[in-house]
Structure 1
Amino acid sequence: MKLPPYNIFPNITGDKIYLRQILISDIKDLVEISFYDAVQATTVKQATVMQVKINQDYIDGNSIHWGIADQLTNKIVGTCGYYRGLDKGEGELGCVLLPPYRGQGYMTSAMALAIEFGLNTIGLKRIWAATSQQNKEAIKLLERLNFIKIADLDDNEVEYELKK
């Protein structure tokens, strides 16, 4: 296994998007989708503090968090990454997309790139995701990416695992 941090932060290029490190200049556009420990930011200051914690988690080898950038504009349209379990050879894959970009294939592309990185670069043996039972779009995304439901969790959440 090759866990973070890496000598150079991994930027991953796809067809329409690429995954890159989030810069301080990106944060003002990401407040509404900035989360840490299931708490959502409501101000740029809160989102900045959260990003500092996310960056520290990466430095500590516990996670990797990418901005999903549109190749044409370099604008961050969402985020995705692995947030738990890396030390055990597994990764909880999470994602969030700004509302104007939903339904356009951004997240499918981003998650496919993140899955490939998790399997082939980090060397994960298990990739999983959790979401609300009401989040039908996330469930459709996970199923489209070959995840299968494995558990109903507390708080009306469901867990999915990548089927290899």
Structure 2
Amino acid sequence: MKLFQYDNFPQVTGSRVSLRQILETDIKDLIEISFYDAIRAETVQQAAEMQSKINQDYLDGNSIHWGIVDNANHNIVGTCGYYRGLDKGEGELGCVLLSQYYGQGYMTEGMSLAIDFGLHTLGLKRIWAATGQQNGPAIKLLERLNFVKTADLNDDEIEYELQK
């Protein structure tokens, strides 16, 4: 089921960061944060294969996965997107930041853009996220973005939901 169709992959521009499609030239810089089905890439080839699957998921209307880019220098600093639930008018929001950019506000800004896109462009009725109970930085990020804890999940994970 295709829920959204765009002639061009949607780019979202903010004052400090932008969300854009991940390019083939980005992949070598994203190996440490390249995942698909909770499996981490260990080589450029694996990361490229994962990105190909992610691109197909987008074309199928199942997810949207952006690179987060610093507008000042055009460096890719992380990724975020919606990975499940779009067929129900909902979205599980996820994100990963390259370690050298921790604590600099990039993810707060990138996720804010993604939330706005989810609510106002995709028309999502519910946005949620899951993280490990020990992932303090992710929990603080979600709380900063107006998410509240809604459930304890299996495997020591917790679920948060955006409060509009």
Other-structure match for 1:112:
112
Code of the aligned partner of 1:10: P
Structure 1 CA distance for aligned equivalents of residues 82 and 3 of structure 2: 11
Structure 2 CA distance for aligned equivalents of residues 101 and 16 of structure 1: 14
1:112-131 to structure 2, matched below 5 A, reads 112-131=112-131
Comparing 34-43 and 2-11, the one that deviates more: 2-11
8 Å CA contact retained: 1:132, 1:156: yes
SS state at 2:134 partner:
coil
Task: Calculate the TM-score normalised by the size of structure 2.
Answer: 0.97
SS state at 1:119 partner:
helix
8 Å CA contact retained: 1:5, 1:58: no
Runs of 4+ in structure 1 off by over 2 angstroms are 2-5
- Does residue 85 (structure 1) correspond to residue 59 (structure 2)? The answer is no
CA deviation profile, 1:45-71 (whole Å, cap 9, x unmatched): 000000000000000000000000011
1:4 deviation in Å? 2.9
Code of the aligned partner of 1:51: Q
Code of the aligned partner of 2:11: N
Gaps spanning 5+ residues in structure 2: where? Answer: none
Structure 1 CA distance for aligned equivalents of residues 19 and 5 of structure 2: 16
Structure 2 CA distance for aligned equivalents of residues 77 and 91 of structure 1: 22
Other-structure match for 1:16:
16
Q: Would you say how many aligned residue pairs link Structure 1 and Structure 2? A: 163
SS state at 1:122 partner:
coil
Structure 2 CA distance for aligned equivalents of residues 114 and 71 of structure 1: 16
Other-structure match for 1:66:
66
Task: Calculate the TM-score normalised by the size of structure 1.
Answer: 0.97
1:8 deviation in Å? 1.5
1:3 deviation in Å? 3.2
Structure 1 CA distance for aligned equivalents of residues 142 and 41 of structure 2: 25
Code of the aligned partner of 1:37: D
Structure 1 CA distance for aligned equivalents of residues 105 and 124 of structure 2: 25
SS state at 2:3 partner:
coil
Structure 1 CA distance for aligned equivalents of residues 14 and 80 of structure 2: 14
